[in-house]
Amino acid sequence: MKNKNSFLPHPILSVILVIIWLLLNNTVAAGHIVLGIVLAILIPWFTSSFWQQRVCVGNPLTFFKFSLIVIYDIVVANLTVAKQVIGSNDNLNPKFFNLPLDIKHPLGISTLASTISLTPGTVSCDLSEDRTYLIIHGLVVDDVEATIQEIKQRYEAPLMEVFKPC
């Protein structure tokens, strides 16, 4: 639902949009700053009616730590997967498995699924209709339960702290 009385319906999204705009343009010129701010105001305002529920960030510091962990995991996983793909296929142990979800916030589920897919070696394939589990494919899965626990600890638990109902 769109809140027309709110100048910034999604202030965190607006800040992120300005930062991404400046990073993509690789400049902090005054014109780009102004254009970035205009876009960061207009995009969330015009798209706020598409958002099912308002996004409230419960713990921004946890989200920052989560982001650092994801960046680290992406770098390490890229190196690991490159080594596995170049090396012998004997080390590969691909599997599909279900990840039971404790997180209920739609944006939290989407962020979790995206994080899993961003990390090389794992892909989030589908969300169950009742939104209780994700179907995931892993390139090297020796112990399904250990993999599930690692995803829940490293990704889902912090996201549950971040995405809380308003």
Which domains are present in the chain? 11-50 (no CATH), 60-163 (3.30.70)
pLDDT score of 155: 96
pLDDT score of 91: 81
Nearest CA to 133 among 158, 151, 154?
151
pLDDT score of 3: 47
Q: How much is the pTM? A: 0.73
Exposed, middle or buried: residue 164 (CB in 10 Å: 0-12, 13-18, 19+)?
middle
Cα 133 from Cα 129, distance rounded (Å): 9
pLDDT score of 166: 63
pLDDT score of 4: 47
Other CB atoms within 10 A of residue 20 CB: 13
pLDDT score of 149: 97
Distances (CA, A) of 8 to 3, 33, 35, 114, 133: 9, 17, 16, 26, 33
Exposed, middle or buried: residue 88 (CB in 10 Å: 0-12, 13-18, 19+)?
exposed
pLDDT score of 2: 46
Return all residues near 52 (Cβ < 8 A) that are at least 6 apart. 106
Q: Flag residues of the chain having pLDDT under 50.
A: 1-5
Determine the residue type at 128: S
Beta bridge partners of 97: 136
